[in-house]
């Protein structure tokens, strides 16, 4: 019988608004998962404003079992989840896809890279923004921890 574990990651936000149902004041609780796929990436915001648009930048290109659709994204330096990425301040982020127990993770995984188009004036509100997400590329990596992958 497997042991369920819940991880509590500190989140320094003091705001009353939260982006999802799992966060509370100063905390984010990750649901128990038997398997997780973690991809670390160095990100830099090249716009003029702080943003969280990076959350949808990387995604699994293939379905693994019944889970893994939407990743949790955290700073690797202090585990804050989905913080604003500030202009010209590089950060290492960890994309974490929680998978159900018994999920068969392949030796290699493909990831899709998404981009958005900047419009100085959108059609609905007349305000500037990033719109129309679309895939611009894919890449495939060996998965550490599977039988055919080399240890990091």
The string of pLDDT tens digits covering residues 94-112 is 998 887 777 788 889 999 9
Instruction: Read off the pTM.
Output: 0.71
> In which band, very low, low, confident or very high, does the pLDDT at 82 lie, cut at 50, 70 and 90?
confident
Task: Indicate the Cα dihedral angle 98, 104, 107, 113, nearest 10°.
Answer: -40
Report the relative pairing of strands 27-30 and 7-10 from DSSP bridges. antiparallel
Q: Can you tell me the mean pLDDT for 142-152?
A: 62
pLDDT tens for 3-50 read 433 333 333 444 444 444 444 444 444 445 567 888 999 999 988 889
The number of CA neighbours under 13 Å toward the Cβ of 117 is: 6
The alpha carbon of residue 116 and the mean position of all alpha carbons in its chain are separated, in whole angstroms, by 16
CA distance 15 to 91: 22
CA distance 102 to 35: 8
> In which band, very low, low, confident or very high, does the pLDDT at 134 lie, cut at 50, 70 and 90?
very high
């Amino acid at each position: 019988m497997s042991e369920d574990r819940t991880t509590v990651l500190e989140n320094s936000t003091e705001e009353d608004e939260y982006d999802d149902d799992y966060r509370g004041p100063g905390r984010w609780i990750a649901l128990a998962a038997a398997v997780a796929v973690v991809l670390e990436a160095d990100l830099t915001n090249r716009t003029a404003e702080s943003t969280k648009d990076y959350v949808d930048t990387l995604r699994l290109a293939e379905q693994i079992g019944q889970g893994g659709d939407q990743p949790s994204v955290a700073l690797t330096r202090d585990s804050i989840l989905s913080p604003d990425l500030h202009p010209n301040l590089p950060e290492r982020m960890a994309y974490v896809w929680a998978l159900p127990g018994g999920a068969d993770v392949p030796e290699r995984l493909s990831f899709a890279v998404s981009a958005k188009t900047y419009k100085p004036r959108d059609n609905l509100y007349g305000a500037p923004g990033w719109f129309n997400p679309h895939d611009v590329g894919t890449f495939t990596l060996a998965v550490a921890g599977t039988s055919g992958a080399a240890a990091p």
